[in-house]
């Protein structure tokens, strides 16, 4: 316990320096803006703003980007409640009851409970990182190449099952991402592969242009095609934000349950913030003695999902910091930023860069306090951004994309990669396919290839060596259990559907 307290003391000494407070304030403010604007989301927001961190110190850079990540969760709830336009995918469930409360004149309490729940969830999530992160990093010191390959492979497998697409489409996206990750120089033989004779491809495809294309450029193309109708803005005065005692009482346990659930869901590969908010909403409705209130302005339907998606952002950072493995596009951005600044995340990260690890954790608490201050008194300033003309917003996003990608390596080739991936991202949107599995496969591909080849060398070509290690066996067993449970669930659903169809036939 003493070393945890010492670590937190070090973290606050780093986070409370003037430069890092400014970076945290800038990050959470930008995150709130990103969350308010429909469609942008934390993934595109972080990808667009990574170039701003190139001249910053590593700790300030990660503090700012992390602030954008969890700050967008706060901002997304604001427009979801006031105008029924979720600024971020994780706020979809908040809109269900939050907007109904706004229509009944209770937008203020909905916003207040959302902010309070987010603050409590963020605080508990930070506590979870403090307790779980160093322990997992210490445990991961015993990992070898077989364990890293098993973790990465299991992560991709779970991602296929948990992504919003069908498992077949998600697997196809993973395959494309793994193929992209192999372009460039073979790490063992040193020969070029899949470069098609282009010298520029020998350096491989950077993660930043790929993500900025899939999310940023694709968003610009969507804006150009569809546009967004200007919503009617609800007026909320500061004195209207105070919830009643009944609303406080109804929200207390949903906030606690959502916070705990969200953190553990964040540890799972996949769209953790979205999954946690859906799971929390369903849980609160199932536990409620008056489930018929849900969908008509139940405060629990705001408190639970908002707490869950904010806590999930903290949980998602644990494997990124402790194992050096990203299981979501947003944490992939943080991972890329660490590498760009010469910091290697993984089991030794806590030991080799304690000021960054503990500084980022402490800054998350500072950021949650700043978000609580920003998102209640200044709520209408953020919502007024929805009045911004779409052609202006699209132009700004496009400018950020072009300047940001070119500044990575001063390379026009990176700009072309971003444009091509933007076209791919736009096509995927038209087909309603989530690109997240592709992005995570690009991130995990090099880790999987390196660890697999090292494992085969260690075993003199015996692939079964991967199953001779306790951790690898445990991971494989977990995958098998999940497959069996999934098959049983699908069989149960099919049986219920068949019985329902039979009952309808009899009724006729």
Question: In whole angstroms, what separates CA 384 from the centre of its chain?
Answer: 26
Taking a C-beta distance cutoff of 8 angstroms, is the pair 80, 98 a contact? yes
Question: Count H helices, E strands: the chain?
Answer: 21, 2
Q: How many CB atoms lie within 10 A of CB 289?
A: 5
Residue-wise pLDDT for 288-334, tens only, equals 888 888 888 788 888 888 888 888 888 888 888 887 777 777 787 78
pLDDT on residue 31: 84
Q: Where are the domains of the chain?
A: 2-235+245-468, 469-508
Per-position b or e across 163-185, b if 16+ CB within 10 A of its CB: bbbeeebbbbbbebbbebbebbe
Question: What's the sign of the alpha-carbon dihedral 369, 371, 376, 378?
Answer: positive
Tokens of 389: 């003309």
| DSSP code for 342 | T
Taking a C-beta distance cutoff of 8 angstroms, is the pair 367, 70 a contact? yes
pLDDT on residue 381: 67
Tokens of 65: 């980007």
Nearest partner of 346 among 140, 126, 149, 65, judged by Cα: 140
pLDDT on residue 38: 60
pLDDT on residue 437: 79
Residue reference for tokens 């493995």:
325
Residue-wise pLDDT for 31-46, tens only, equals 887 777 665 667 777 7
pLDDT on residue 239: 62
Rounded Cα distance between 300 and 113, Å, is 9
Residues of the chain with pLDDT under 70: 1-3, 37-41, 83-90, 92, 140-141, 159, 161-165, 226-241, 269-271, 376-388, 390, 393, 408, 461, 463-466, 486, 490, 502-508
Rounded Cα distance between 456 and 467, Å, is 12
Instruction: Enter the pTM of the model.
Output: 0.71
Taking a C-beta distance cutoff of 8 angstroms, is the pair 319, 325 a contact? yes
Integer angstrom CA distances of residue 334 from 90, 130, 140, 341, 400: 19, 18, 20, 11, 18
pLDDT on residue 379: 65
Q: How many CB atoms lie within 10 A of CB 465?
A: 16
- What is the phi/psi pair of residue 191, to 5°? -90, 155
| DSSP code for 193 | E
Collapsed DSSP state (helix, strand, coil) of residue 210: helix
């Amino acid at each position: 316990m003493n070393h945890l307290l010492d670590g937190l003391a070090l973290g606050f000494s780093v986070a409370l320096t003037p430069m890092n407070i400014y970076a945290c304030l800038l990050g959470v403010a930008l995150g709130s803006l990103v969350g308010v604007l429909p469609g942008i989301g934390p993934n595109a927001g972080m990808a667009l703003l990574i170039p701003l961190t190139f001249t910053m110190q590593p700790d300030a850079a990660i503090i700012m980007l992390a602030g954008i990540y969890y700050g967008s969760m706060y901002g997304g709830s604001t427009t979801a409640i006031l105008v029924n336009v979720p600024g971020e995918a994780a706020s979809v469930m908040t809109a269900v009851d939050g907007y109904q409360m706004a229509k009944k004149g209770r937008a203020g309490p909905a916003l207040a409970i959302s902010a309070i729940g987010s603050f409590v969830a963020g605080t508990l999530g930070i506590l979870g990182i403090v307790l779980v992160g160093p322990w997992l990093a210490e445990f991961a010191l015993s990992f070898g190449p077989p364990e890293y390959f098993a973790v990465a492979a299991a992560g991709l497998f779970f991602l296929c099952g948990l992504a919003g697409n069908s498992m077949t489409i998600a697997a196809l996206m993973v395959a494309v991402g793994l193929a992209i990750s192999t372009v460039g120089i073979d790490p063992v033989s040193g020969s070029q592969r899949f470069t098609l004779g282009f010298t520029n491809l020998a350096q491989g495809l950077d993660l930043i242009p790929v993500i900025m294309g899939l999310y940023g450029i694709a968003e610009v193309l969507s804006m150009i095609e569809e546009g967004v109708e200007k919503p009617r803005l609800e007026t909320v005065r500061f004195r209207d934000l105070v919830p009643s005692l009944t609303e406080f009482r109804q929200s207390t346990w949903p906030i606690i349950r959502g916070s705990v659930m969200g953190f553990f869901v964040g540890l799972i590969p996949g769209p953790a913030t979205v999954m946690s908010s859906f799971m929390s909403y369903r849980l609160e409705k199932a536990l409620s003695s008056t489930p018929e209130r849900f969908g008509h302005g139940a405060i629990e339907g705001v408190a639970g999902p908002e707490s869950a998606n904010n806590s999930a952002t903290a949980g998602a950072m644990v494997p990124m910091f402790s194992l050096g493995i990203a299981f979501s596009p947003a944490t992939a951005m943080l991972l890329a930023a660490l590498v760009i600044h010469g910091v290697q995340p993984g089991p030794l990260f806590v030991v080799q860069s304690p000021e960054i690890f503990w500084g980022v954790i402490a800054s998350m608490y500072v950021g949650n306090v700043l978000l609580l201050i920003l998102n209640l008194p200044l709520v209408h300033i953020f919502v007024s951004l929805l009045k911004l003309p779409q052609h202006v917003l699209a132009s700004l996003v496009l400018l950020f994309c072009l300047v940001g990608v070119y500044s990575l390596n001063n390379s026009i080739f990176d700009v072309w990669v971003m444009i091509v991936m933007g076209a791919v991202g736009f096509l995927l949107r038209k087909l309603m396919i989530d690109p997240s599995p592709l992005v995570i496969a690009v991130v995990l591909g090099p880790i999987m290839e390196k660890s697999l080849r090292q494992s085969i060398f260690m075993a003199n070509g015996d692939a079964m060596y991967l199953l001779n290690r306790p951790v690898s066996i445990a991971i494989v067993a977990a995958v098998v259990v999940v497959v069996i449970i999934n098959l049983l669930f699908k069989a149960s659903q099919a049986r219920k559907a068949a019985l329902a169809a039979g009952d309808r036939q009899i009724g006729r």
